[in-house]
Copies of this chain bind each other. A is one copy, B any other.
């Protein structure tokens, strides 16, 4: 089932989630200047799925319902699926200049699909069956799914039970008809504009921490859920303006997240997909991470890189310096960064494999997904630096585009901010670029899908040092095989 953007907006308009921003309740999610950007970004994802040019990327046929679905709701069945999943992340970034908010939900769905299959196989539980049932429900309605992973953690030097027990989402009551959960998930991209949120643990858990080993789905607007939105200068700018066309990303805005509070939320058993199985939490997190590092960490940021490169190139042309050797060198370095992350994401998709064997579920290669993200971590700040270098100080010191139209000073602005093109165009692209190089993207890109340190730990753990040691000993003549070679 593929629904229209209008249908999505209509459906969302019927909900009444508790959303706060800057101390005020948001009463109309569709119209509020900030929340509207999330709705419009989601709507664009619905629109792209209807666009024949993007059909292969944005849609597929679900084996669960036998119908065409938005790829955001698909559980990957092949390397081609993985490749298209990454391609979707790249395409939506190019088209939105912000988050495809259906992305984390997709990756949680895939991660849980794999681990629930394994739990059912090993433990005889029914989690996988329940999850597939939930997936069918989403696919049949083309519902927007968000994913909730990152706990608030409190004192990171302590585990869940060594401090305020609510720092990690956990079960506070087990009832015959379901469970009651409490806690909060932070950095939640677009949760308030989704139909459902799929929640899973953020970290490997140990014996004794069973209450924290919990995965479940909740509908938007559920009793006990409150969204407290991020608020920063870019939020203020959008709230303050009377003309969003003058903002850096006029329609889709910056990546909007919220702190999602679960205050004793009831979840019926049919929407519980893990409950107490601490031994599976590490693998659950790792499988979600495989998907998310390739997609959010890798391919998505490649699309952002395209926008930064395109804007830097435009500014170079508008400034009349696009042929200067140092500008060419810098643009080339930007391309290098972009293509490195892209190559890693592609390798992650094409060298992915069925996991667990027999499940029919495909996940990306873990090492390549992690290097995709790690290269993005380092490369993205460099992209920002290079773009700011090429474009010049005007990117951060420019007047408002309102000054352009002003009866008294408009002439000055048009005169003095022109380059090889009129000031209006140059300022438009400078503002666009400001959004990328003087805003949230540096930190957000680094931390999104896990900090660099998380990728490093994974790489160190995954790398087979033993086989390399053996190669060395053989060549150096420290092994019998090496001896044989000498003869």
**Which residues does A use to contact B, with CB under 8 Å?**
20-23, 44, 94-97, 150, 152-158, 164, 166-167, 184, 186-187, 226, 228-234, 236-237, 239-241, 245, 249-252, 257, 259, 261, 263, 306-307, 309-311, 313-314, 319-321, 323, 325-326, 328-329, 331-333, 335-336, 339-340, 342-344, 346-348, 350-351, 367-368, 370-372, 374-375, 381-382, 384-385, 388-389, 391-400, 402-403, 405-406, 408-409, 412-413, 415-420, 425, 428-429, 431-432, 434, 437-440, 442-444, 446-448, 451-453, 456-457, 459-460, 463, 465, 467-473, 475-478, 485-486
Q: Find out whether the CB atom of B239 lies under 8 angstroms from the CB atom of A471.
A: no
Q: Given known contacts A20-B403, A329-B326, A344-B343, is B233 in contact with A234 (CB within 8 Å)? A: yes
Q: Find out whether the CB atom of B443 lies under 8 angstroms from the CB atom of A393.
A: yes
Contact of A472 among B314, B335, B409, B420 (CB under 8 A): B314
Q: Roughly how many angstroms separate A346 CA and B460 CA in the complex, as a whole number? A: 21
The chain B residue with its CB closest to the CB of A452 is B389
Contact of A240 among B20, B44, B240, B393 (CB under 8 A): B240
Q: Roughly how many angstroms separate A156 CA and B390 CA in the complex, as a whole number? A: 12
Contact of A399 among B259, B346, B372 (CB under 8 A): B259
Q: Find out whether the CB atom of B233 lies under 8 angstroms from the CB atom of A439.
A: yes
Contact of A23 among B187, B331, B405, B447 (CB under 8 A): B405
Dominant SS at the A interface?
helix
The chain B residue with its CB closest to the CB of A340 is B371
Question: Can you show 15 pairs from A to B with CB atoms below 8 A apart?
Answer: A97-B475, A155-B419, A186-B393, A229-B399, A232-B434, A240-B240, A250-B475, A251-B475, A263-B412, A313-B468, A313-B469, A331-B465, A335-B459, A339-B368, A439-B439
Chain B residues lying within 8 Å of A470, measured Cβ to Cβ, are 310
